[in-house]
Structure 1
């Protein structure tokens, strides 16, 4: 079919050709975009794969990895484990135990010191007791502490007393009572220059195991 070569037909033909060329360019642009997108995705995946490969290689070849992993595993296991043991400790029947240090018992006088055979002229019964004295030099005299025991079997004194004693001359002696049974006594005006409160600190009161 041949159209007449009129001005309107020429304008229409030009418009159709322009539209066809525009559509062709649009299709080519889309195709190029898809190709570039595919290439970009491929490159990205390739980079990720290479990075993962290098990371895995470095992780596997890290010399500290196995040791640290094992140490952490052992530490966690030990924290969750409770060790229990039962047993009885026995001493050898033939063994002996020695205790080093001071004596814990009260010193016992010898039979000669006790004078067991001594009796009064009246032949009355005799009750034997004894006193342990502790002397501490102080000032011009000494602080004396006495522990009274009613028998040699007694483990602690039945009575204690403490006093200060000072020889004034060849025949005179000054005595100041300081305390009884671990407690200070009220003091009157002293006849010497000794401070009773300070002298009292030199009393040696009985303590179990202190003899």
Structure 2
């Protein structure tokens, strides 16, 4: 059971927090790291069964695991950098592009893990075929998630490009997967206020009618 101080617990605490990152991109990278680590185990225990390729598979699986851990951090940083750029209005396009590039790297690494897992499932230790298959399933899930994020963030990039072409009045605040426009701007010099007249209540109308009757009665008394 992981302790509260374990790296996994810290990551899950961060993932479940209200902070904008880490989020789904980092989760896909973490899933990929799990797949690569499992694949490394299969390769390590398959040396007697696949002498020609097990050692190289182990080396490559280890490299993919380390790269996945790096991508986990890079994805969170890319999104936080995009949030900062959106707030400052500086370097938004480059920051948004980075939120596309990192998931692409995750998907590419995941495809390599899937391919390597298939080879180990066929040629590696037969007692670990289920583990090789599990590694492929996990890596495919990571790839599917990363590819979805690429599509979402690419759509956001295209919207951002159109908004910049349309001018500042059409500017939108962009976030991963968000298509909500920013509130419309108002001119600073426009201080006009709309005055809405409230209808007279029945009480005020009665009071007005009563005042008119009193004035007429007074005039009749004076004329006498």
TM-score of Structure 1 vs Structure 2, range by shorter chain: under 0.3
- Ranked by relative contact order (alpha carbons within 8 Å, sequence separation 6 or more), the top structure is 2
TM-score (norm 2): 0.23
TM-score (norm 1): 0.24
Larger Rg: 1
Higher helix content, 1 or 2: 2
